[in-house]
Amino acid sequence: MPRVGDGRSVTRSVLQQRLVDGLELCRRVLAQAPQSGFVESEFVPGPAAQTDAKLLAFARQTGGTVFHPTSTCKMGLDPLSVVGRRRDGVPAQ
């Protein structure tokens, strides 16, 4: 079964619409001042991608995932721990 976050295997309609909405939101934000002053033209997905189907095709072709490792800080109450048993920060001493 494909990973949900893999842009090339998006099959759920809600996730598909979120991808399209996100691309359209980016366009709206970059079309407004002051950002518009820094944009010469849209490079990708490009001005030809105006329909939901074309935006979704772009997302499928270029999308991917980014994995963010978690739980890499030592937990406990010893001097090397940065997170306590209740996952709260341990004050520096």
* pLDDT tens readout for residues 6-41: 555 556 788 889 999 999 999 999 999 999 999 999
The label of the residue with tokens 């189907």 reads: 53
Active-site residue, 18 included: no
The pLDDT of residue 2: 45
Rg (CA), the chain: 21
The pLDDT of residue 80: 80
Q: Average pLDDT over the chain, rounded to whole?
A: 80
pTM: 0.59
- 34 cis-preceded (ω within 30 degrees of 0): yes
> Do residues 13 and 53 make contact, with C-beta atoms less than 8 angstroms apart?
no
State CA 87 to chain mean position distance: 26
H helix and E strand count, the chain: 2, 0
Out of 47, 64, 68, 93, pick the active-site residue. 68
